[in-house]
């Protein structure tokens, strides 16, 4: 139901640049997109900036939404690309500062949780690579299917499964999940 509602809103945007329909789509999905980016970056302000960029990209590319998969899957694909682009930019900036002889204070600002705000989940996410983190968040926090994650990350379904397996393995070895499970 929600799926088709989203598709109807997209159709309204495509046919008449309906900003009200776009607003409705943003209202529906902002929480998931912002949550996804907050978990990826560990920085609320940065995640919200990236979320804004993500939705602006979505507005620009809405004609490219085929309607085959879910809208949230398509949106998270854009969010992940926006995150990777931002990370590349900040890395380049750090390199420039480094070359200029400065202390690279901008060095990978991404995933920079404040020490006093560290939660169990933050510790758990910190042992994962960006790719593993993104896929695990898409799977366990956003509830995307392996196929949807495969479309969002442009990876084969088999690779998505092995990344999830690897991520779980890392979490298992870094934290005593079984103890946690039994309290």
Partner 1 sequence: MTSKIINMAERIKDAEDRLLESMFESAPIADDGFSVKLVKRVRRRLWLQRLALPVAAVLGGAVAIRPLADLVTAMANLSFSVTSIVPEELVTATAGLIPQAPFVVLGAMLLAVCLLGLRAIDD
Positions that interact with partner 1 (CB under 8 A): 17, 19-20, 22-23, 26-27, 30-31, 34-35, 38-39, 48, 51-52, 55-56, 59, 120-121, 124, 136-137, 140-141, 145-146, 168, 171-172, 177, 180-181
Minimum distance from residue 16 beta carbon to partner 1 (Å) = 9
Angle at 38 between CA 182 and CA 156, to 5 degrees: 80
Please, what's the b/e burial string for 138-151 (b: 16 or more CB within 10 A of its CB; e: otherwise)?
A: bbeebebebebbbb
**In which residue are the tokens 């999905």 written?**
29
- Are 39 and 121 in contact by the 8 Å Cβ rule? The answer is yes
Minimum distance from residue 97 beta carbon to partner 1 (Å) = 30
Nearest residue (CB) to partner 1, 107 versus 122: 122
Nearest residue (CB) to partner 1, 44 versus 106: 44
Minimum distance from residue 66 beta carbon to partner 1 (Å) = 19
Helices (H) and strands (E) in the chain, counts: 9, 0
Nearest residue (CB) to partner 1, 102 versus 147: 147
Nearest residue (CB) to partner 1, 92 versus 172: 172
Minimum distance from residue 6 beta carbon to partner 1 (Å) = 15
- Are 35 and 75 in contact by the 8 Å Cβ rule? The answer is no
Residues in the chain: 183
Nearest residue (CB) to partner 1, 54 versus 110: 54
Minimum distance from residue 51 beta carbon to partner 1 (Å) = 8
CA distance 151 to 144: 10
């Amino acid at each position: 139901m929600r799926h088709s509602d989203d598709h109807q809103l997209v159709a309204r945007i495509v046919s008449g640049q309906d900003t009200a329909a776009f607003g409705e789509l943003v209202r529906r999905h902002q929480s998931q997109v912002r949550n996804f980016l907050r978990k990826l970056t560990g920085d609320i302000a940065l995640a919200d900036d990236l979320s804004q960029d993500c939705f602006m990209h979505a507005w620009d590319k809405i004609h490219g939404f085929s309607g085959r998969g879910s809208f949230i899957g398509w949106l998270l694909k854009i969010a992940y690309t926006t995150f990777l682009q931002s990370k590349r930019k900040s890395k380049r900036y750090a390199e420039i500062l480094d070359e200029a002889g400065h202390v690279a204070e901008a060095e990978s600002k991404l995933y920079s949780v404040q020490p006093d705000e560290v939660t169990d989940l933050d510790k758990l996410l910190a042992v994962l690579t960006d790719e593993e983190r993104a896929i695990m968040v898409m799977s366990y926090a956003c509830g995307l299917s392996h196929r949807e994650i495969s479309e969002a990350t442009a990876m084969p379904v088999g690779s998505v499964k092995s990344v999830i397996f690897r991520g779980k393995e890392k979490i298992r070895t870094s934290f005593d999940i079984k103890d946690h499970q039994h309290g």
